[in-house]
Chains A and B, each alone.
Chain A
């Protein structure tokens, strides 16, 4: 794993010191809120519905066990004993008091972490494939590039005041698990005809108010051009982006209004200008970073223990079938630990659970953990012979749920239980849907289904790219839930279609149930997934299931 250089360390420590003084000056009254607010936001501190919230960056979702232990320690010492992992691969603490934040930031700095650039109109945490460095289908580990981008974009003087926030996602696999097409810049690694590695560069993707799928601005970018090209994109956006209207300020609107061809021309022009200034120091740095991401020393041992348990224990088998992914070393597996136990809050982990996951990673997982944008925790490198012991330990702590990729593995943003911007709640809707399908004992029969819920149009819950998306709105002072169908966040990304009028809070779970029952009766065979069935038949039969009384009754 990458370790801070002296420069990183000094930078983060000096920010903690600065912010500590700023907090003191706010508390003693010498800074007004107008003065303080931009400073606290620069350090990840928001004010939410019931309390402050601190958003901590987890660069490309990668954590060591030491860092995970520290996150647990923070949750226990300065918060209410839990944390919320987000779709941005970050962690949010929901209850810090203002005076404790400097101590929290200092504790984060002790493990090379911080909350810088988790807010504001700058380049945010670069996100990546949560299976990076382990996946069997990967061309190359994308994290060294993500780390290079992180170093370059952190405190970059030109890009601290962009027209709006800027999100970059990167994947090293043809199977896109990082939703790269819904980011301001999406980078997908590929090989050209000569076998060289480079990136397909997409710009202008994004969800939110105006959801758009990113468009390819460069089909092959050599690795050595990554920084100058990214800088060129940002520089063009910085100049053209709409600062006059917050709702039109993201690069997706710039691309839409300017046209892809023109954007491409401008970016290439700017790229040609700045490329000569990159003399290769970035590539030397990249080599050092690569060394830090060298794969662990994989063990060579028999995997019989796993095979025997798999044959004998149906609970273990179900967990393996849903929660394991093929590792590039055939003796190993990638383990997804579900933070979606039915009825629990998606993405939440208690301090004790964090400690346990950290211990297990240290003992059985080459000391690595990942946070997925789907709000689960990954142990990327577990030898198969250790899986039965791992499963037993997880199950004992409420972390053994076998539901990854199923209907109860729901993405849900904090919604109106925490978020000041929310128009409705999302967490209890997720809890109720998961409990309902668990009660029906249907979720394994339903198979792969991505259900995603956002509590407002900002779409942090990625509802547009859910096979089933739910958007919570405020309709005349009542919570109302709109359904979108057929969304897809992978390499075949599509924005879902709105199914029709929304549903009241107590109507949304039955509506989802009708929808899923319709799918079960419409699919040609058990292996036809919800998304495949939807693509084959389109909206009409699902709409009929959602609105059975259509015509007779005007759905509200």
Chain B
């Protein structure tokens, strides 16, 4: 029996800024994991990955990451993906403080 499919989101980094982004159901890129499209079907996941990765002048390095439905929307499963929603643990920088790469304003 094949294993049950773990839901996925399509994630990548923004080409210009480098920040972590997620593909939404309307084919846009969001910086917020909870707004990503949660993909529950394997074939659809492959298709969405192709569609996301095709936006070559917006993002870099698209891949599928495990996710699950949480209270506010999709949540990451693996700790690496959790860190990507926050930023580094040694400084209050990045997403956890709503900040983009580049100089602090």
* Same assembly: yes
Q: Mark B47-66, 1 if CB is under 8 A from A, else 0.
A: 00000000011001100000
B20 vs chain A, min Cβ distance (A): 6
CA distance A152 to B1 in the complex (A): 59
Chain A residues whose C-beta falls within 8 Å of the C-beta of B79 in the assembled complex: 416, 474, 477-479
Smallest CB separation, A113 vs chain B (Å): 20
Pairs across A and B, CB under 8 Å, 20 listed: A27-B15, A33-B56, A47-B18, A49-B80, A50-B20, A50-B84, A51-B19, A78-B102, A80-B93, A80-B104, A95-B101, A95-B103, A97-B16, A97-B102, A345-B91, A348-B90, A417-B88, A417-B89, A417-B90, A477-B78
Q: Let me know if B17 and A428 touch, CB within 8 A.
A: no
- A348 CB to nearest chain B CB (Å): 8
- The answer to whether A417 touches B60, judged by C-beta atoms less than 8 angstroms apart, is no
**A98: nearest residue on chain B (CB-CB)?**
B16
Known: A78-B103, A80-B104, A478-B79. A52 touches B18 (CB 8 A): yes
Chain A residues near B101 (CB, 8 Å)? 50-52, 95-97
Residue in A26, A33, A95, A425 whose CB lies within 8 Å of B89 = A425
Compute the total of residue contacts between A and B using a CB distance below 8 Å: 96
Instruction: Establish whether residues B90 and A95, one from each chain, have CB atoms under 8 Å apart when the complex forms.
Output: no
- B residues contacting A by CB (< 8 A) are 13, 15-20, 56-57, 60-61, 77-80, 83-84, 87-91, 93-95, 100-104
Q: Which residues of B contact A479 (CB under 8 A)?
A: 79
Known: A416-B83, A477-B78. A100 touches B102 (CB 8 A): yes
* Cα separation A463 to B61 with both chains bound (whole Å): 30
Query: For chain A residues 306-348, which have a beta carbon within 8 Å of chain B?
Result: 345, 348
The B interface is mostly helix, strand or loop, or mixed, namely loop
Tell me which residues across on chain A come within 8 A of B90, comparing CB atoms: 345, 348, 417, 427-428, 431
Does A259 count as interface, using CB distance less than 8 angstroms? no
Question: Smallest CB-CB separation from A33: which chain B residue?
Answer: B60
**Measured CA separation A32–B20 after assembly (Å):** 19
A-B pairs with lowest CB-CB distance, top 9: A51-B101, A51-B18, A417-B88, A52-B18, A97-B102, A29-B57, A95-B101, A345-B90, A427-B90
CB distance from A196 to the nearest CB of B (A): 49
Give bound CA distance, A79 to B15, whole Å.
17
Does A447 have its Cβ within 8 Å of any Cβ on chain B? Answer: no
Which residues, 94 to 114 on A, are CB-close (under 8 Å) to B? 94-100
Inter-chain CA distance A514–B59, complex, in Å, is 47
Q: Return the chain A residue nearest B83 by Cβ.
A: A416
A418/B88 contact (C-beta < 8 A), A51-B17, A98-B18 known: yes
CB distance from B53 to the nearest CB of A (A): 10
CB neighbours (8 Å) of B88 from chain A are 50, 94, 417-418, 427
Which residues of chain B have C-beta atoms less than 8 A from A33's C-beta? Answer: 15, 56, 60-61
- Please name all residues of chain A whose beta carbon is closer than 8 Å to the beta carbon of B100 when the two chains form the complex: 97
Q: Does A208 contact B (CB under 8 A)?
A: no
Residue of B nearest to A29 (CB): B57
B103→A80 contact, CB < 8 A: yes
Beta-carbon contact of A428 and B56 below 8 Å? no
CB of A523, distance to nearest CB on chain B (Å): 33
Which chain B residue has the least Cβ–Cβ distance from A417? B88
Bound together, the chains give a CA A96 to CA B16 distance in angstroms of 10
* Residue A151 CB within 8 A of the other chain: no
Does the CB pair A49–B83 fall under 8 Å?
yes
Task: List 12 additional contacts besides A27-B15, A52-B101; criterion CB under 8 Å.
Answer: A33-B60, A47-B60, A49-B83, A49-B84, A51-B13, A80-B93, A96-B102, A97-B18, A98-B17, A345-B91, A416-B79, A477-B78
Compute how far the CA of A376 lies from the CA of B102 in the bound complex, rounded to whole angstroms: 25
Tell me whether B56 and A32 are in contact (CB under 8 A): yes
Question: Which residues of B have CB within 8 Å of A477?
Answer: 77-79
Chain A residues with CB under 8 Å of B93's CB are 80, 95
B69 to nearest A CB, angstroms?
A: 18
Q: Residues of B contacting A50 with CB < 8 Å?
A: 18-20, 84, 87-88, 94-95, 101
Residues in A43-91 with C-beta less than 8 Å from chain B: 47-52, 76-81
Q: Which residues of B contact A98 (CB under 8 A)?
A: 15-18
What's the nearest-Cβ distance from chain B to residue A423, in Å?
8
- Which partner residue on chain B sits nearest A346 by CB separation? B90
Residues of chain B within 8 A (CB-CB) of A79 are 102-103
Q: Nearest CB to that of A348 among chain B residues?
A: B90
Q: B56 to chain A: which residues have CB within 8 Å? A: 29, 32-33
Q: Across the two chains, which residue of chain B brings its CB closest to A53?
A: B18
Interchain nearest-CB distance for A453 vs B (Å): 13
Query: Which residue from A29, A76, A95, A474 sits with its C-beta under 8 Å from B102?
Result: A95
Nearest-Cβ distance from residue A39 to partner chain B, whole angstroms: 14
Q: Give the residues in chain A near B83, CB-CB below 8 Å.
A: 49, 416-417, 425
What chain B residues lie within 8 Å of A417 (beta carbons)? 83, 88-90
Min CB distance A342 to B, Å, is 13
Closest Cβ of chain B to A408, distance in Å, is 15
Interface contact B103-A416, CB-CB below 8 Å: no
Cβ of A96: which chain B residues have Cβ within 8 Å of it?
A: 18, 101-102
* Complex contacts, A77 vs chain B, CB 8 Å: 103
Measured CB to CB, the nearest residue on chain B to A477 is B78
The smallest beta-carbon distance between A72 and chain B, in angstroms, is 13
A99 touches B16 (CB 8 A): yes
* A-side contacts of B57, CB under 8 Å: 29
Within the complex, the shortest CB–CB distance from A35 to chain B, in Å, comes to: 11
Assembled-state Cα–Cα distance A26/B59 (Å): 11
Contact of A97 among B17, B77, B94 (CB under 8 A): B17
CA distance A479 to B82 in the complex (A): 13
